[in-house]
Structure 1
Amino acid sequence: MDLVEVANALRESPADSGALLESALSALARATPLESAPPVGFTEVVARLLEDGGDVRDRPIFAALLREAGLFPYLSQADPSDVFDQIAIEAHTAASHIGGRKLVMHRDQATAFLYADAGHDLALSAPTSFGKTAIAHQLIRTNKHANILVAVPTLALLDETRRSLANCGEHYKIVTHPDQVPADRNLMILTPERALEMLPNCVFDLVVIDEFYTLDDARRRRLENAHDERSTTLNALYSRVAATDAQVVMLGPSISGLAPDVSPRLRRSFVRSESPTVHLELNRLDDPGERKRPARAAELVESLSDPTLVYASGPARSETVARAVVASRSRPERLDQSVDDAVAWIRENYGGGWVVADALAAGVGLHHGALSRGIARFMVRAFNDGRLSCLVCTSTLLQGVNTAAKNVVVVDQKLGTGEFDSFAFANIAGRAGRMGRYFVGRVYHFGVPPADSGRIIDVPVVSQGPDTPDELVVEVLREDPVSDDERQALIREELDAAQLSIETVRTNIGVPLPQQLALARRVRELNDGQLREFAWTTATPNTSQLTAITNLLWDSFSSAPTEDFFAIKPFISSVGQLRLRLKQLQQFGPGRGFYAAVFADQRAYAATKKRKEPDFGATIRDVNRFMRDICGYRIPSRLRAVESVLRPVLQEHGIPAADYRGYASTIENLYMGVAVAALDELGIPPQLIAKISPQLRGAQTADASYGVLRGLETGALSLTPFEREILDEAIGGLGGGQTTMNI
């Protein structure tokens, strides 16, 4: 029998794994050597033998198979007595100088780690189950770098990374918020926007960029017709750290190669591994059509006994799917008391009738971008530790947040409104199975998956091709225009005509250059009286100032390529509604009162127009998106851009300078203050933050709040069981606190 025949036999008759073991090893001996990709059928054979368990794992012949495969983590679990097995395990074990934790690595993982540990740049592409993150974390735990930056694409991944590296707090100050003050030795875990803010004051020895495929947003522009300023910002960050002596380690899944025009340094660092540690079993289902798919998926979920992720294209769609899964349940699922406690808390703090609470009460979790961070974090944690058997999710789980699922059901082959490509499908499918836990992952999908087109990553700031955003062209402009090419010369002329400096554009790197140019031209057309409406420095503008600045924001940044930049229709469809929502947030704070006020507005409007009752779940999604996206990033980032463009104009007119930092911070922190709002990023919901606010009195900075939190005795506080779990988990994720370091 060859390997494919053995794999087929194991698939059909798993009980015969012992009898097939000799055939498997014999077939392996005749197969292609393993120096490159494993031979067809090999991974499946190993995974199915591991899946079966039993006495197969204890047999020396199986240990030989694992050793040949380079799967030393699995070999170590078998407690091998063979001296060659012990030597192989020891040779692939990385010791840690922080926490004393040793990590047994598989062959390709160890090769990549040793390469990076020798000080080389590394751009690693490997399957989802490879253990890429473990390589970076083990590199950090060598404790030989004075200042480390870990750049992550989302706050959710920032939170997870901080928790994973919490034990490094005894050797580094862990910095995750721009309000924190660096120490002598720092481990900074930041989004690219925050990293750029901190970069001028820090010199890094090691820079880790997770999910580095986000450097190339051509795919998103093609699939979703959307501009991704995170990609532009990450390119600027890469350009600036690559110009230093820092070692750069980048990690990403399923990348075929790099574009021809990337730098030789980056090309030398690229390593691609196709060595999966689990086997993915793809199961195609007949597609009943978009409307009937949720019910069909729900029937499938009901028939599966292992933990199952269900992917849907967006927040509203995921809630529709969750309702279908709940409706299909033939018997109530017996829930852990902690899940019942979570349901009670959600209903108390958000009101009844929300599908998130109703689904959770039936044992079905939800995870999408319109959930508060605390609830989203609880859903993942409850799923991973077995308290929930089903988690319905969107693409929010795709960028590095770890889950432990045996099955993945792909309901929609879409990302938002854009179509899938093979990269997106592979990323979602790769969530099935987990190294050391679920050796065979099962993927169920409707219809034909996208054809494998490969994924070639461009780094636009390096390649400077025709699709490179204008602001990244400015990023590489030299002071001397002699070396400009035709496009650079044209952009320089536009900057000069608008009297917009190169430094200003670089400061506002995420803002599309056409919008910065239009803004510069617009403010230069204002007379002295109009300009004075923008010359304020307070943390809260007066009514006329608020009207002027919000009108300018709306008019300047709601054009291509970021149409509806501040809009969440129908929740916010005009600049007047934007001002109304800001005033309501200021009045009620980010708690139940805000949701209730908005819902009351929407009900009254629907009654006036004789329309149907609004959906309370949609209101919660809209309010959460408003607080997270519009207030948490979009308004503050554009306020800073307006201030930087206005500064020289006001100076020319002899008008005192504007300073919007206070107001930007007020909005960004949802009127709670930076010291309090920083706790939201730890997964503590605003409602719970309000409960512990007496303990936080006097804390003026994020560092001070974290210090207070570490000293809290949660058992002495008047909290619900759910609140205590959330708070204890957040405190545990902070790790040791350091404010000054002299190591």
Structure 2
Amino acid sequence: MNMQEILSYISRIDYIPLEKSFALSKMCSQLLGDEKTESRGREFVIRMLDVWEKIEPKTHDIWNDLVEAAGLHLYVEYKKLSGSSCIRHEYFRSKYLPNIYFHEEQMQLLHILNSDNSLILSAPTSFGKSLLIEEIIASKRYNNIVIIQPTLALLDETRKKLNKYRKYYDIVVNTSHISKRENVIFLFTGERVVEYQNFPKIDFFIIDEFYKLSISRDDERAPILNLALYKLKKMTDKFYMLGPNIKSIPSGFTEKYKSKWHRTNFSTVAINVKDVTEEQKIKKKEKENKLFELLTKLHEPTLIYCSSPGKANDLVSKFIKFINEKGNTKNSNNSDIKDLIQWIDVNIHRKWILRKALEYNIGIHHGALPRHISSSIVDLFNESSINYLFCTSTLIEGVNTSAKNVVLFDKKKGPKFIDYFDFQNIIGRSGRMYKHFIGHVYKFYPEPEQLELNVDIPVFTQTKAPLELLIQIEEKDLKTKSKEKLETFKQQNKEIQNLLKRNAGVQIEGQLEIIRMLQKKFNYYYPLISWTGIPNFEQLFTVVTLGWNYFLKESESRGGVYSAKQLTFLILKYCKLKSSKGLIESMFSSKYWSDKILDEDERLQKVIHSVFQIIRHWFDYKLPKLLNVLSEIQRYICEMKNKTPGDYTVLANLVENDFLPKHLSILLEYDVPASAIRKITKYFKKELSFEELIIELKKFNFNKVKLIPYELNKIKSVIK
């Protein structure tokens, strides 16, 4: 029997008798004994673990020994070991995490991390890369640690996982939080690392999904992540960078930064990949029906990958209709789901598609959702309260879920086709160490051409580094060609050079063009740029237009906004209404949207998505960043002309903090909805540090406030 025949045999029969189990174990042992076939032998072991109840019990000890021989010590039944096997197995026990055993390669990597060397790791999703992070933190070896995550979903997952270490470490998630404790974990995006000016001595840093350092993947945030790496590398030589499916890193990087590069395909789960349809030009409706028929047969947690939020919403709507036509009804009795539905009814809209979906134990996850909702959806899915989760790439990039099945329904990520790296990332979400031995992938398209990812690190190579990155690199670290590229920058006066450096990551040419324009037509621009607080339309439109025309790259996302004028109108409307619900109601009833989409339900879904996309893309980060940069520029020009400057930071802070007091807005980072924070604001007027706020919240009598259950539970999750 070849491997395929063996796998087919063990999946279809109900019992593996003694002789057959012996024969299979002998074959598995031979595979494990040969370096060329060892990975196949390990997969064989994993697949046998998945059918453990079928195996003749008298041969369990043999298979248990093979589990150990495969290096899968996390799956070994240690009570059945004896003598040297038992002693050898104990070697792989975690020193700091209770009831955790590492597999063979994890232990090798821990030795590197515990040495004087740093580690750069490429390993599959199911390797257990993040478990090494927790071992480092649990060891308390380092006083101050920085962890960089690329997405809010990953930040939330990591924060929840590390919450148990709050007695020893203060966990800082916001740049306004200045910790006074000796031991701190900074949990930031690359942007926040660059912005934060109050780091103590950093002992160790971690960059998750480090392939995002690469400029070649056309990620607009890559230069800032490189700058974060450069900044942290100046503070400490010890680091751990991790990511999946990476072929190589730049030559010379490990030597310069005293690190080890480790690439492996070691996996703790096996994956079955099945083609749902072989037809390349299948009709849209037929394809959707095939998906819905498939989903009704899958009864374990299932992720459905969609190319965009709009596609996810559309599919969910059609799936609910399909379920109803089959005679199925709403079946959600979960109290957490009911609490979330109640919050949506009060704060968004009773007819929102996600609200409808939750009644059928269906979830939606994408980058435009309010942060606390995204977090709740992932929690409900991991608890199996949600059966089906329609998601985009925001959940695929690094977030660990309890998905047994992944359905690859679309072949695009936004407007672009997914490449082989994306494909591997998506299918890697199926199966879960300790939870599902086998992951199942159902794909509607052939896999892309196998082109592996070579990660360039421009802050090191400097070959593709943009000027915005090069100006932040110290003279002694610049290569000859980089110095030549900076000649124009060095011709600027020192004040302008310092201004451009402070405005990290923002287009240099755009900033210089604005400076030239304001200097040339200062008398015209002065009344339009010298405002503080909330400006009038003409003033804000002038400033937003400057940012729109000179800072945004051609390929950069506009977050659902089509012009500077539209963005100006939305900002002022948001300042007046101060809530997403108010903005939704205003836009839904506007003449523009009423004329554009006649069908009320379709219009409602489009408006809700548009509002959330604009809030997440513009108001949460991009707009405050642009306002702060433009505020610096106008200050420089006004002071040079001996005129009183404006100050845009007031508006930037109001929008970024959701019009909440700054000392309370930090609760947004802990998944507390703004609606709950507004209800308690009058009781916490005094400015408090985060630690003081938590102490006061623990003493607070919440019976004074009319919090609905969802809001109360979110606050209690922070203070428990």
TM-score for the superposition, normalised by structure 1: 0.89
Kept in 2: contact 1:6–1:45 (CA 8 A): no
Q: 1:590 to 1:706 in 2, by over 3 A?
A: farther
Deviation sequence 1:705-738 (CA, Å, 0-9, x none): 4444444565775443333433333444xxxxxx
How far is the alpha carbon of 1:44 from its aligned partner? 3.3
Number of the residue aligned with 1:504 = 499
> What is the one-letter code of the residue matched to 1:23?
A
Q: Runs of 4+ in structure 1 displaced over 6 angstroms?
A: none
> What is the one-letter code of the residue matched to 1:652?
M
Kept in 2: contact 1:176–1:190 (CA 8 A): yes
Matches of 2:597 and 2:50 in 1, distance apart? Answer: 58
Worse-matched range after superposition: 24-33 or 416-425: 24-33
Number of the residue aligned with 1:740 = none
How far is the alpha carbon of 1:623 from its aligned partner? 1.0
Could you list the runs of 5+ residues in structure 1 that have no partner in the other structure? 222-227, 733-743
Worse-matched range after superposition: 632-641 or 50-59: 50-59
Q: 1:687 to 1:552 in 2, by over 3 A?
A: same
> What is the one-letter code of the residue matched to 1:725?
N
- For the pair 1:294 / 2:276, whether they are aligned, the reply is no
Matches of 1:95 and 1:472 in 2, distance apart? Answer: 41
Kept in 1: contact 2:578–2:659 (CA 8 A): yes
Matches of 1:46 and 1:327 in 2, distance apart? Answer: 42
Query: How big is the alpha-carbon RMSD for the aligned residues of Structure 1 and Structure 2?
Result: 2.8
- For the pair 1:583 / 2:572, whether they are aligned, the reply is yes
> What is the one-letter code of the residue matched to 1:95?
K
Match of 1:664 among 652, 671, 684: 652
| Partner secondary structure for residue 471 of structure 2 | helix
Number of the residue aligned with 2:53 = 54
- For the pair 1:476 / 2:476, whether they are aligned, the reply is no
Q: 1:636 to 1:606 in 2, by over 3 A?
A: closer
Match of 2:256 among 222, 240, 265: 265
| Partner secondary structure for residue 256 of structure 1 | strand
How far is the alpha carbon of 1:46 from its aligned partner? 1.6
Matches of 1:252 and 1:130 in 2, distance apart? Answer: 10
Matches within 5 A, 1:545-556: 545-556=539-550
Matches within 5 A, 1:300-339: 300-329=294-323, 330=326, 331-332=328-329, 334-338=331-335, 339=337
> What is the one-letter code of the residue matched to 1:64?
D
Matches of 2:593 and 2:637 in 1, distance apart? Answer: 45
Q: 1:445 to 1:731 in 2, by over 3 A?
A: farther
Number of the residue aligned with 1:390 = 388
Match of 2:604 among 589, 597, 616: 616
Number of the residue aligned with 1:69 = 70
How far is the alpha carbon of 1:298 from its aligned partner? 1.5
Q: 1:60 to 1:68 in 2, by over 3 A?
A: same
Matches of 2:19 and 2:704 in 1, distance apart? Answer: 59
Q: 1:724 to 1:245 in 2, by over 3 A?
A: closer
Matches of 1:702 and 1:38 in 2, distance apart? Answer: 54
Matches of 2:50 and 2:597 in 1, distance apart? Answer: 58
Deviation sequence 1:342-378 (CA, Å, 0-9, x none): 2233233212321111111111111111211121111
Worse-matched range after superposition: 685-694 or 669-678: 685-694
Q: 1:208 to 1:710 in 2, by over 3 A?
A: farther
- For the pair 1:629 / 2:617, whether they are aligned, the reply is yes
How far is the alpha carbon of 1:38 from its aligned partner? 5.6
- For the pair 1:251 / 2:242, whether they are aligned, the reply is yes
> What is the one-letter code of the residue matched to 2:144?
N
| Partner secondary structure for residue 178 of structure 1 | coil
Matches of 2:490 and 2:598 in 1, distance apart? Answer: 49
Kept in 1: contact 2:117–2:258 (CA 8 A): no
Matches within 5 A, 1:80-159: 80-96=80-96, 101=98, 103-159=100-156
How far is the alpha carbon of 1:488 from its aligned partner? 3.5
> What is the one-letter code of the residue matched to 1:293?
K
Deviation sequence 1:620-647 (CA, Å, 0-9, x none): 1111122222011111111222233334
Deviation sequence 1:407-444 (CA, Å, 0-9, x none): 10011011111111111011110110011111010000
Number of the residue aligned with 1:680 = 668
> What is the one-letter code of the residue matched to 1:106?
H
- For the pair 1:648 / 2:636, whether they are aligned, the reply is yes
Q: 1:18 to 1:541 in 2, by over 3 A?
A: farther
How far is the alpha carbon of 1:498 from its aligned partner? 8.8
How far is the alpha carbon of 1:18 from its aligned partner? 6.2
Kept in 2: contact 1:528–1:653 (CA 8 A): no
Matches of 1:119 and 1:155 in 2, distance apart? Answer: 32
How far is the alpha carbon of 1:391 from its aligned partner? 0.9
Number of the residue aligned with 1:736 = none
Matches within 5 A, 1:199-598: 201-219=199-217, 221=218, 228-260=219-251, 262=253, 264-265=255-256, 268-286=259-277, 287=279, 288-290=282-284, 292-329=286-323, 330=326, 331-332=328-329, 334-338=331-335, 339-465=337-463, 467-476=464-473, 478=475, 485-486=480-481, 488-494=483-489, 496=491, 501-528=496-523, 530-531=525-526, 533-536=528-531, 538-542=532-536, 545-562=539-556, 565=558, 568=560, 572-598=561-587
Matches of 2:615 and 2:120 in 1, distance apart? Answer: 35
Matches of 1:283 and 1:133 in 2, distance apart? Answer: 28
> What is the one-letter code of the residue matched to 1:65?
L
> What is the one-letter code of the residue matched to 2:221?
R
Worse-matched range after superposition: 581-590 or 67-76: 581-590
Could you list the runs of 5+ residues in structure 2 that have no partner in the other structure? none
Kept in 1: contact 2:533–2:647 (CA 8 A): no
Matches of 2:341 and 2:378 in 1, distance apart? Answer: 15
Matches of 2:386 and 2:13 in 1, distance apart? Answer: 30
Kept in 2: contact 1:674–1:702 (CA 8 A): no
Kept in 1: contact 2:304–2:390 (CA 8 A): yes
Matches of 2:266 and 2:403 in 1, distance apart? Answer: 20
Deviation sequence 1:584-612 (CA, Å, 0-9, x none): 212222242222112122xx224457955
| Partner secondary structure for residue 15 of structure 1 | coil
Matches of 2:45 and 2:197 in 1, distance apart? Answer: 46
Matches of 2:305 and 2:432 in 1, distance apart? Answer: 17
TM-score for the superposition, normalised by structure 2: 0.91
| Partner secondary structure for residue 16 of structure 1 | coil
Matches of 2:454 and 2:21 in 1, distance apart? Answer: 39
Number of the residue aligned with 1:735 = none
Matches of 2:197 and 2:606 in 1, distance apart? Answer: 39
Kept in 2: contact 1:6–1:20 (CA 8 A): no
Worse-matched range after superposition: 527-536 or 398-407: 527-536
Matches of 2:704 and 2:54 in 1, distance apart? Answer: 49
- For the pair 1:691 / 2:679, whether they are aligned, the reply is yes
How far is the alpha carbon of 1:230 from its aligned partner? 2.0
Worse-matched range after superposition: 669-678 or 180-189: 669-678
How far is the alpha carbon of 1:102 from its aligned partner? 5.0
Kept in 2: contact 1:263–1:462 (CA 8 A): no
Kept in 1: contact 2:32–2:69 (CA 8 A): no
